[in-house]
Amino acid sequence: MRNSFQNTTNYKKSTNAEKLVLVRTSILYGLSFENVKQEKISYNSGITSIPTIIFFNNNTECFIDYSNQSNKDLELKTKQYFTKIPANTTIFILNGQYYDTIKEERADISGEYIFKDFFNGIVRATVTSVGSLADNYSRYDKKYFEEIPLISSNALTETEGQNITVIRNLFGSTTKNSFNYLGIKVGDFISFSGIKDKYKIIEYSIDPNGIETLKVEGKIEQQNLIDSKILVNVYIPCTDSYTSDPNLNENAFGSCVETVNGVVISCTDNNTISQCRFRSNTSKNIQSTITLNTFCTTPDTDPAIEYTTTDKLVQITNYLASSIASSLNTTSNIAGPINTGSNSKSAFYGRT
């Protein structure tokens, strides 16, 4: 049975002082800590998606539009690539052959461009050189490219600051020995036994080998602790006064949906009731609601499951979030019904 709880009643008022509240704790194996090195590299985007490209100002500038994406992994990869490129960096487009079968127009947008900025899935660039463009033709629709245009840069400067540490978990995200199981999200803080200080999580991803990767603000000594037991604590920044402390012994989990004025801004898997409660924020008008025994993404849902009123509300929420996510510049994975299969990429813990 699913239960939803809106988590605003335990707060008294908003205060100016921010403090970190301990909401989850667990012991993990398989962690290693690596310092990020500053270097200049040639860097291929690895984006396996075709954009729509719009030229303007007499073909001297263009928009490269990746925003119409239904694949969240590709959306994340696109964002991670372009947000690391400094403005005025030279980028190259290869495999830009184009043929409009309706208008019988051919073009080749392969060439050299100057990256200007990236916003909501759209790259703005200045055209340095381009293969060939069609006359009186400004919009090159993604469906008419003959191959996937490849983007690369050989002038990518210092990719990260020195004050960044990469933490890897060899066990991956689908076990209880994972950061995913701890219900973390970007913006939370984390600490480790034997290592002083608390560190803000600035990026969470899964590498091609299935290894969980965290990037945190702060320098942690490089070390391999794969065969050691590490106590991991998760903290949420809080500016509200509250009447009850989080319960660290809770063992029921669900999807925690955060909303502002009824608009969904994020969803986090594997949260406890207490953990979700502290994601509310009075000063930012954020309300959080947890639905036990659900998770945020449902790549394979059993069609035999009967939809409840909660499920229908969740589906409506999902539609609203997908419509406005780009304007909020947030990632909005919305709670869905239980996945009864065993092959979901987004494993949910706590199912019966």
| 158 has a pLDDT exceeding 60 | no
Six token digits for residue 246? 């989080």
If one counts every other C-beta atom within 10 angstroms of the C-beta of residue 295, the result is 26
- Angstrom distances, CA of residue 279 to CA of 148, 260, 273: 40, 12, 10
- Give the H or E element holding residue 325: helix 309-328
- What letter represents residue 61's amino acid? E
Q: How confident is the model at residue 41 (pLDDT cuts 50, 70, 90)?
A: very low
Place of tokens 């494993």: 347
Residue among 118, 48, 42 at smallest CA distance from 83: 118
Whether residue 196 has pLDDT greater than 70? yes
Is 301:348 a contact under the CB 8 Å cutoff? no
pTM of the model: 0.54
SS3 assignment, position 316: helix
The per-residue pLDDT for 152 is: 84
**For the chain, what is the largest distance between any 2 Cα atoms, rounded to a whole number of angstroms?**
69
Q: How far is CA 116 from CA 84, 113, 141, 142, in A?
A: 12, 9, 21, 21
Q: What's the pLDDT band for 319 if we cut at 50, 70, 90?
A: very low
Sign of the torsion formed by the C-alpha atoms of 192, 195, 200 and 201:
negative
Residues 58-87 have pLDDT tens digits of 999 999 999 876 677 777 788 888 887 888
The 3-state DSSP class for residue 73 equals: helix
Q: What's the pLDDT at 9?
A: 46
DSSP reduced 3-state for 273: helix
Number of Cβ within 10 Å of residue 41's Cβ equals 11
What distance in Å separates the CA atoms of residue 153 and residue 45, rounded to the nearest whole number? 8
- By mean pLDDT, which of 112-121, 170-179, 204-213 is the weakest? 204-213
13-22, 56-65, 243-252, 329-338 — which one is most confidently predicted on average? 56-65
Distance separating alpha carbons of residues 253 and 199, to the nearest angstrom: 24
Q: Are 151 and 45 in contact (CB under 8 A)?
A: yes
pLDDT 10s digits, 240-272: 888 788 999 999 999 999 999 988 889 999 999
Q: Per residue in 304-314, pLDDT tens?
A: 333 344 444 45
